Amino acid sequence: MDNSPGLSDRLVILTAMGKNNQQRRAAKRRARAATVAASGRVGGRADEATSRDQFTASSASPEPIDQRQEIAQLLATGANCAFGEGANEVALDEIVQSLVVLQTTAAPSLPATMGTDAVYHLLGHLWENGWQPMDLAHIVRRHQGARGAALVTAAIDGQAARDRHFDRGPQEWIDQLGSLGIPAAQHEHTSEWLLAAWQFAQGISPWDGWRDILRLLGQFQILHRLSPLGPPPSQWDQVRKAAAGRPPRTATAPSAGQQSPSSGHDPKMLSRIRALLSKAEATTFDEEAQAYTAKAQDLMTRYAIDEALLEEAGGHGDVNARRIHIDNPYAQAKVQLLSTVGSINRVRVVWDDEHGMATVVGMAVDLELVDMLFTSLLVQATHALTEAGNTRITQGGYQSGRLNRSPSFRRAFLLSYAIRIGERLAEAGQRAADESTSSHGAELVPVLARRAEEVDHRFEKMFPNTREIRAKRVDARGWHAGRTAADRATFAAGQVETA
């Protein structure tokens, strides 16, 4: 967006002109935008007819059909010009100008209505292709920053109201809406809300608003399909009806593949474990941190083993999957830590580098505990990495300070940290396995073996084609520093093989 005074003045001049002069200039702008659409600037992602069909509102309208087609063409071409390989700022400026003129003169509500309907249409398409609310918020924030994330959250909110997601959706979907700050209270939905009320609330101009909308549409249309974690919205009513016809189970457990690992488990116990890990991360005293994590270890070990045996006895231990979003920088080094923690706990991990998200597959209780442990260790690793970059004293054989702020040092630090943590988890796992076997007897071993086989089967079915990520050569100083930091880290040993 050109923020020069001339561009904003142009809109003021247009609204102050006489009606005939205004319409004549608007026609010229629309003609230029139509020329852009007819040219080869759209990047070849979709032909004109397909784009027009994709973005044309489905409801009937009294406006002339040629005006609706014109707006649909502007939206389709603008989306192609706003994001991705075919991005073209010059063409995008022409299209934004035409949309602003149409919105302020001939058809004030039609462009906003069609733009909002286009966003909702693509949202629905992404839901059917495996995407979920937190996934979209993550990927838009990754590429478009905080304002893009706020816009996609507003779009998800509007569609959730229109399609009654809170009434129809599974609990894990509703939980994600809540995590985005979308209230469960129903509000009146209007089709042009996204382009009117939201822009007004954000205090942005129509020019910036249209550019944001077109960027969002452009990103939506190039997102590839994700492996589904649960039924899409088109199947919610059928799933609910089928569930109502089944007899109740003796214990609650989430359906296979759904993303609510804490469902059916003791929320009070999970809250106690989370609180202990949070205190371990916050304290600056090693002895106090050890005390907190020792208690968390005891709770985790007992809780996870009891859950495994109960699920085995009840015959309802289902394999689940969830996605964990990992932000830059050094995302691959961070996911190495997640993979290490997961492998010790019979949780399989696959990394999507393009979208910055990992899918983890395992039993519900294992997923929950792996997520908590990974988050706790990542906080500790980040603190240690910051300390290595800010201080200038010798620790563990390396000199801290400015040299330790380089990307190569930090990447090596995190990779080494992950590998050393894996060694510590494996050692603790063997001790916990011995203690649990003596307490529960030989029945525990085949139970854990069966659960591991089920996880492997589900993982191979979801991701038949994967490859290992091989680390490149790393900074030796960062490697040694990360290993030293991992030796100082505290963690709950209950998050291990016996968990």
Higher pLDDT, 64 or 295: 295
pLDDT greater than 50 at residue 448: yes
DSSP string, 419-482: HHHHHHHHHHHHHHHHHHHHHHGGGHHHHHHHHHHHHHHHHHHH-SS----------HHHHHHH
pLDDT digits (tens, 9 = 90+) for 139-188: 999 999 999 999 999 999 999 999 999 999 999 999 999 999 998 765 55
Stated pTM of the model: 0.74
Mean pLDDT of 422-431: 71
Euclidean distance between CA atoms 189 and 196, whole angstroms: 12
| Residues paired with 461 in a beta bridge | none
Residue 194, Cβ density class (10 Å: 0-12 exposed, 13-18 middle, ≥19 buried): buried
What local confidence, expressed as pLDDT, does residue 498 receive? 37
Q: pLDDT confidence of 119, banded at 50, 70, 90?
A: very high
Q: What is the DSSP letter of 414?
A: H
Q: What is the mean pLDDT of residues 240-267?
A: 54
Domain boundaries, the chain: 5-220, 258-488
**DSSP symbols for 182-202:** --SS-----TTTTTTHHHHHH
Residue pair 101/33 in contact (Cβ under 8 Å)? The answer is no
Among 67-76, 144-153, 326-335, 467-476, which is the least confidently predicted range? 467-476
What's the pLDDT band for 290 if we cut at 50, 70, 90? low
Least confident of 101-110, 149-158, 488-497: 488-497
pLDDT value at 262 more than 60? no
Report CA dihedral (71, 77, 83, 89) to the nearest 10 degrees: -100
pLDDT, one tens digit per residue, over 304-355 is 777 877 877 766 668 899 999 998 888 888 998 899 888 888 899 999 998 9
Integer Cα distance of 207 and 209 in angstroms = 5
- 85 vs 475, residue with greater confidence: 85
* 451 pLDDT tier (thresholds 50, 70, 90): confident
